């Protein structure tokens, strides 16, 4: 399911490269398949999140507060996952993973409020 997003039984090059990037195992940079400007998968996932937040008029601060259920000013991937599942059913697991990689600056599995709101 991580590689074959559309569950057609085939893994496209785009699906393959996106999964490699999302899980930080991409050994080399690759170009866009159609010759357009290449956007890293992390950025695509972030853009998708921003669009969904704007549709529902939710700020990053409001998102963080909704994720931080225990008010410790830190969120983990499970807290972010719960919020995003409620925000939109269209997010894939690898997009969530890519978002966490992007947001978790010190790679400790947590995102601090100050890091998140920068």
pLDDT (tens digit, 9 = 90+) per residue, 32-69?
A: 566 666 667 788 888 899 999 999 999 999 999 999 98
CA quadruple 93, 103, 68, 52: dihedral, nearest 10? -60
pLDDT at residue 68, as a whole number? 92
The CATH homologous superfamily of the domain defined by 39-116: EF-hand (1.10.238.10)
pLDDT at residue 108, as a whole number? 87
pLDDT higher than 80, residue 79 = yes
pLDDT at residue 25, as a whole number? 61
pLDDT band with cut points at 50, 70 and 90 for residue 106: confident
More confident residue, 87 or 2: 87
Q: What is the DSSP string of 22-89?
A: HTT---S----TTSS----HHHHHHHHHHHHHHHTT--HHHHHHHH-TT-SSEEEHHHHHHHHHHH-T
Per domain, the residue ranges of the chain are: 39-116
């Amino acid at each position: 399911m991580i590689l074959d997003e559309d569950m057609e039984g085939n893994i496209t090059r785009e699906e393959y490269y996106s999964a490699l990037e999302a899980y930080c195992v991409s050994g080399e940079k690759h170009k866009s398949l159609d010759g357009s400007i290449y956007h890293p998968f992390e950025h695509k996932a972030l853009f998708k999140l921003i669009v969904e937040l704007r549709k529902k008029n939710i700020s990053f601060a409001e998102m963080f507060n909704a994720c931080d259920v225990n008010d410790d000013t830190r969120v983990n991937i499970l807290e972010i996952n719960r919020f995003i599942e409620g925000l939109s059913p269209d997010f894939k697991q690898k997009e969530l993973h890519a978002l966490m990689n992007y947001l978790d600056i010190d790679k400790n599995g947590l995102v601090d409020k100050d890091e998140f709101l920068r």
